[in-house]
Structure 1
Amino acid sequence: MQAPAALELNGITVTFRAREGGGRYTAVADTTLRIAPGEFVSVVGPTGCGKSTLLNIGAGLLAPSAGEVRVFGEPLAGINARAGYMFQAEALMPWRSALDNVMVGLQYRGVPQAQAREQAQAWLARVGLADFGDRYPHQMSGGMRKRAALAQVLALDPDIILMDEPFSALDIQTRQLMENEVLDLWAAKRKAVLFITHDLDEAIAMSDRVVVLSAGPATHPIGEFSIDLPRPRDVAEVRGQPRFVELHSQIWGVLREEVLKGYAQQLKKAA
């Protein structure tokens, strides 16, 4: 028998009450998405199309209006305890040091203090912050804060990692360093990853599969591409490979029209 998907969104529809007029707004319509154990899947689409909504559905932070979420074959009810969520905005507590921030999830899970401290220190070392555990968020660079946030998620050893444009605010050099660090850590344990990004280059360089969403409202998958670039990968070097260029052209051919639609909708709202 085929192993169940790590995360399975089946026929998901998400409808909200509109802010004006009292009507309904369908953000996501009849969307099915499956991530296998150990698979790295990126989702790309126009701004405001509902990418983060799907991530919140997978995390159990938002209940779908229709459809079903399964985690390793079991229906999801409430928060997805087998998932770790790395947000676009840093979730570090400003009054806690880097070490204490990484420890907090372990403490909530009831891990003894000494053991939680040891595990948190080990994860800080793995993300290159071994000597910065006593630093507070305001004392760290953007890249360092992202490393601490990544350690905070991975210290819980989740079976599924949800990432919502985690590196979008970083400069290109720091961003590529973080992308490579994520790939190295992912390769070591092969967790299932659902990665949301606006950056098509990033999606192709990191993923096993890229899913393209339509412009909203009622976003849904309109394309799916297997990324057959060899691993391990360096995200900067892989961009120069002919196959990367070919894949980029294929995916952009599907994505471009949706980006233009999304841009037109944004202009209409602003008018």
Structure 2
Amino acid sequence: MQNVNRTAPAIEFRNVACRFETPTGFYTATAHTSFCVADGEFVSVVGPTGCGKSTILNMAAGLLAPAEGEVRIFGTPLKGLNRRAGYMFQAESLMPWATALENVAIGLRYRGVAKDEANERAMAWLARVGLEKFPDRYPHELSGGMRKRVAMAQTLVTDPDIILMDESFSALDVQTRELMEDELLAIWQASKKAVLFITHDLDEAVSMSDRVVVMSAGPASRPIGDFGIDLPRPRNVAEIRMDQSFLERRAAIWSVLREEVLKSYREHRTELAAS
């Protein structure tokens, strides 16, 4: 990896706006968006459906360029793809024709790592996520939870300075989801990378994060709350959710988020009625 300016935020959004062209004009997804993710910090973004959470993540990845403002990565304006970040998508991103080992190793191979070394490092990561017995399995031969473990190993094997996650566990059943959340926290606790985590699940955000940023309803969504989560670490997500301190922090965030969710719901109902 490149040398990193550890005194600067890992990710900094400076008065960012993002717009998309539509048949009837331009739609402003986000506006006046400013917040940071410090090096080693775990930050979640929550908000109503359609509030631009994934748009923010894609700007941090360099997949979208802001119409206004600036995204900085460790103090440097982001131009093009963010090569210091690993991105774990919500949708399936594994190559169906490749084995688990090949899927994990592919990022290293693209970076010019020799095949033997790439496979060795990929095997080490499969072991870290509990899949060392399944390197030759294809995605269709793995359960949903196992595929997510492969995707996590695929994201982290290149040792990115920043981890971007877009509702990565939302499709899993509750039990598997909690296991994956604990798995991610254990890996993060050991490496302390910067994490920007997008989720629609407030319980997930509070139980995992150092901070939770709340976005307003769209269009022109913006941050309207930034809550520190000072619950003790290491955390077990199932256990921490029964703690009184967790319930108090969740209630404080929900008091801000609830009205935005209702606004979004009313807006969508109006749009449906008009169509």
TM-score range, shorter chain: over 0.9
Contact kept? 2:6, 2:39, Cα under 8 Å: no
Partner of 2:113: 111
1:165 is matched with 167
Q: 1:136 aligns with which of 127, 138, 156?
A: 138
SS in 2 for 1:24: strand
Q: Partner of 2:75 in structure 1?
A: 73
Question: Residue 18 of structure 1 corresponds to which residue in structure 2?
Answer: 22
Unaligned runs of 5+ in 1: none
Cα separation, 1, equivalents of 2:264 and 2:184: 30
Q: Quote the residue 1:43 is aligned against.
A: 45
Corresponding residue of 1:5: 9
2:216 and 2:222 in contact (8 A); partners too:
yes
From 229, 237, 240, give the equivalent of 1:235. 237
Partner-residue secondary structure (3-state), 2:237: coil
Query: What per-residue deviation string (whole Å, max 9, x for no partner) do you get for residues 29-78 of structure 1?
Result: 01012000000000000011100000000000000001111111111110
Q: Does 1:56 pair with 2:52?
A: no
User: Does the CA-based 8 Å contact 2:231-2:246 persist in structure 1?
Assistant: yes
Q: SS at the partner of 1:30?
A: strand
Residue 113 of structure 2 aligns with an amino acid whose one-letter code is V
Instruction: Could you list the structure 1 runs, at least 4 aligned residues long, displaced by more than 6 angstroms after superposition.
Output: none
Q: How many Å separate the matches in 2 of 1:2 and 1:182?
A: 22
How far did 1:126 drift? 0.1
Equivalence map 1:21-32=2 (5 Å):
21=24, 23-32=25-34
CA distance in 2, matches of 1:264, 1:153: 37
Give the alignment's Cα RMSD to 1 decimal: 1.1
Quote the residue 2:260 is aligned against: 258
* Residues 6, 74 of structure 2: 8 Å contact kept: no
Amino acid at match of 1:98: A
- Name 1:199's counterpart in structure 2: 201
How much has 1:15 moved relative to structure 2?
1.2
User: What secondary structure is seen at the aligned counterpart in 2 of 1:254?
Assistant: helix
Q: Which residue in the other structure is 1:174 paired with? A: 176
The verdict on how the C-alpha distance between 1:131 and 1:2 changes in structure 2, with shifts beyond 3 A counting, is: closer
CA deviations 1:227-261 (Å, max 9, x no partner) are: 01000000000001110010011000000000011
Q: Secondary structure at the match of 1:178?
A: helix
Q: Distance in 1 between matches of 2:159 and 2:272?
A: 43
Code of the residue aligned with 2:15 in structure 1: it is G
Q: CA deviation at 1:2?
A: 8.6
SS in structure 1 at match of 2:27: strand
**Partner of 1:217: helix, strand, or coil?**
coil
What's the offset of the Cα at 1:3?
1.2
Q: Contact (CA 8 Å) 2:10, 2:75: kept in 1 or not? A: yes
2:124 to 107, 122, 125: 122
TM-score with structure 1 setting the length:
0.98
Aligned length: 269
2:102 to 93, 100, 103: 100
Q: Which residue of 1 aligns with 2:213?
A: 211
Q: 1-side partners of 2:228 and 2:45: how far apart?
A: 12
Distance apart, 1:24 and its partner CA: 1.3
Q: Which amino acid aligns with 1:129?
A: L
1 CA distance for matches of 2:35 and 2:133?
40
Alpha-carbon separation, structure 2, partners of 1:46 and 1:195: 15
Amino acid at match of 1:14: C
Q: What letter corresponds to residue 84 of structure 2 in structure 1?
A: R
Task: Quickly say closer, same or farther: Cα 1:97–1:2, change in 2 above 3 A.
Answer: closer
